[in-house]
Amino acid sequence: MKKFTSLALAAALALGALPAAADYKDEYRVSTVVPAPFPWGIAAERWAELVAERTDGRINMAIYPGAQLVQGDQTREFTAMRRGVIDMAVGSTINWSPQILELNIFSMPFLMPDYAALDALTGGPVGERLFEIIEANGVIPLGWAENGFREVTNSQRAIRTPADMSGLKMRVVGSPIYNDIFTALGANPTQMSWADAQPALTTGAVDGQENPLTIYSVLNMHELGQSYVTLWHYVADPLIFAVNQQVWESFTEEDREIVRQSALDAGAHGIEVARTGLTEDDQSLIEQIEGYGVTVVRLSDEERQAFIDATRPVYDAWRDRIGADLVEMAEESVANR
């Protein structure tokens, strides 16, 4: 580095002109849970491709799926990124909820009835607030992609009422709100990582699980005995593109802008892929799953209301943990969508 007077140094710092591309790492490690062709992995790959192209290879990002950088324990991804064990991630709000309680907003049962509601949260004041909180925790969030609305599946019977869930052994994800939801519904939830979930489904150690239908279809869960799907749209998990703070600060201003814009572009693409075949106008993915002989239950409004009522105590209990202000903000965003 050339000699700077302290004034010039301060000015350079202020302009963000100090980091030099020459100091960049050979590779930036990007954590995801699932790889392409899951929409999640597609979004991460697109991000890496766009950044490589737009920086002429200055920033080389490699995707590490399976949460392998944290030995498969996806609930430790956020902490590892904060500490710099992971440089970057495209992570689910569920998996980061143990550290950032407010991200449980997306896991509030039946808060978001449709894609417009999900977009109203990520694209509105709730999304802004969440990004501030993440940044205050030492990680730089850049944009949103999507895992999707999580539908419930199982090997035993069609679920139309909360009573149909009674006693079903369900694999759930790593935020305690899921234990509460499935317990309230009379099921028998057991929390496990995605790495453990796959063998548990294969061997029948669990009866069911909940995940977006893109996960169901890429994994061919109908071949794992998951013969019953209920479209209940109870929660959705968006994905967040994020970068460790020190890594972010090491990038030049120009490169930060490229990394951010590439995340936004990759996110738009990822969201489109995540919704393909799952919208009102295009139900082709659902039809494909029915074509395998799977029973797909579409709940009437009345039937759905029974699930809303049964999980209301969980919603109310978590309102306080997440923060009543944020929950109110979210409810307003949904109502005004």
Positions that interact with ligand X2X (CB under 6 A): 33-34, 74, 92, 94-95, 147, 173, 194, 211, 215, 237
State which amino acid sits at residue 205.
A
Q: Which residues pair with 229 in a beta bridge?
A: 153, 296
Cα angle vertex 193, ends 275, 69, to 5°? 90
Measured from the CB atom, is 173 or 326 closer to ligand X2X?
Answer: 173
For the bound state, the minimum distance from the C-beta of residue 79 to ligand X2X, rounded and expressed in Å, comes to: 15
SS3 13: helix
And the tokens for 68?
């392998």
Measured from the CB atom, is 52 or 219 closer to ligand X2X?
Answer: 219
Cβ–Cβ under 8 Å, residues 97 and 79: no
Residue nearest to ligand X2X (CB): 194
Pairwise CA distance, residues 206 & 229, whole Å: 15
And the tokens for 138?
């030492």
Measured from the CB atom, is 211 or 311 closer to ligand X2X?
Answer: 211
For the bound state, the minimum distance from the C-beta of residue 240 to ligand X2X, rounded and expressed in Å, comes to: 12
For the bound state, the minimum distance from the C-beta of residue 117 to ligand X2X, rounded and expressed in Å, comes to: 19
For the bound state, the minimum distance from the C-beta of residue 331 to ligand X2X, rounded and expressed in Å, comes to: 24
Measured from the CB atom, is 78 or 251 closer to ligand X2X?
Answer: 78
DSSP track, 216-238: HHHTTGGGGT--EEEEEEEEEEE
For the bound state, the minimum distance from the C-beta of residue 267 to ligand X2X, rounded and expressed in Å, comes to: 17
Measured from the CB atom, is 211 or 252 closer to ligand X2X?
Answer: 211
- Give the chain's end-to-end CA distance (angstroms, integer): 52
